[in-house]
Amino acid sequence: MIARIIIDLFLLLGCFFAFAGVVGLIRMPDSFTRMQSSTNIATLGVLWTVLGVAIYAFMNNNIAFGIKVILIGVFVVITSAISGHAILRGAYKHGIRPDNLVVDEYRRDNPDE
Amino acid sequence: MIEFVYVGIFYALLALMLLYRVLKGPSVVDRAVAADSIDILTVVALIVFSIFSNRSIYLDIALVLAILGFLGTVLIARYLEGRL
């Protein structure tokens, strides 16, 4: 019973963070702030839900299932950082700038790009 | 546990809400980021559905979907940089 309450709590936290990320992705004013808000889905939203599912699988003696779920979660969390970094550089080189840009240190460090 | 079904339906509704950003997004980066987020939400919904129905074939589909989404996003980023 206690374990079921804990699993529900984890699933609820995952739903909350995913909802916050989606609201930020729709409502934010700028491309780069929207990108920052989409990271919320891929890290915390995935991680809490995957932890809840893995606890449920381990509780039912379903070891292979739990290990596979944790592997998928770790894969998504690691690759979201990589793809976010790549698409940020791509957006900068494509000519997209933030709205209220004050200091541009990337341009200062790489003046020929 | 019936809660897994509710969580899966909630994630599917969030993915449907993100279709607004894919359709409207002013630049190509917004569309790419929103499509990547839709992919991740689908992966989580598949995980939850597979633990509900107790079939691990959906878990393999979720893993393949995660890998393909990552590759697609990195490919779009390389294309935007102009190095493809």
Q: How far apart are CA A81 and CA A66, in angstroms?
A: 23
Contact status of A77 with chain B (Cβ, < 8 Å): no
Entry pTM: 0.91
Tens digit of each residue's pLDDT, chain B (84 residues): 788 999 999 999 999 999 999 998 788 899 999 999 999 999 999 999 999 998 889 999 999 999 999 999 999 999 988 877
Give A31-40 pLDDT, tens digit per residue: 899 988 888 8
C-beta of residue A87 within 8 angstroms of C-beta of residue B80: yes
Q: Does the pLDDT value for residue A26 go beyond 70?
A: yes
Residues in chain A closer than 8 A to B83 (CB atoms): none
Cα distances from A18 to residues A15, A23, A39, A98, B70, in angstroms, run 5, 9, 10, 24, 18
ipTM: 0.89
Task: Give residue-wise pLDDT tens across range A56-109.
Answer: 999 998 899 999 999 999 999 999 999 989 998 888 888 888 888 888 888 888
With contacts defined as CB-CB under 8 Å, which chain B residues touch A82? 70, 74
Whether residues A76 and B37 touch (CB distance < 8 A) is answered with no
Subunit contact A69:B59, Cβ cutoff 8 A: yes
CA nearest B57: which of B66, B47, B67? Answer: B47
Q: Is A42 on the interface with B (CB under 8 A)?
A: yes
User: Do B56 and A53 meet the contact criterion of CB atoms below 8 Å apart?
Assistant: no
Question: A80 to each of A58, A102, B67, how far by Cα in Å?
Answer: 26, 28, 11
Predicted pLDDT at A113: 65
CB contact under 8 A, A25 and B21: yes
Q: Which residue has the tokens 């809490």?
A: A48
| DSSP characters over A15-31 | HHHHHHHHHHHHH-SSH
The pLDDT score that the predictor gives to residue B73 is 92
Overall average pLDDT of the A33-57 stretch: 91
CA distance B29 to chain A (A): 6
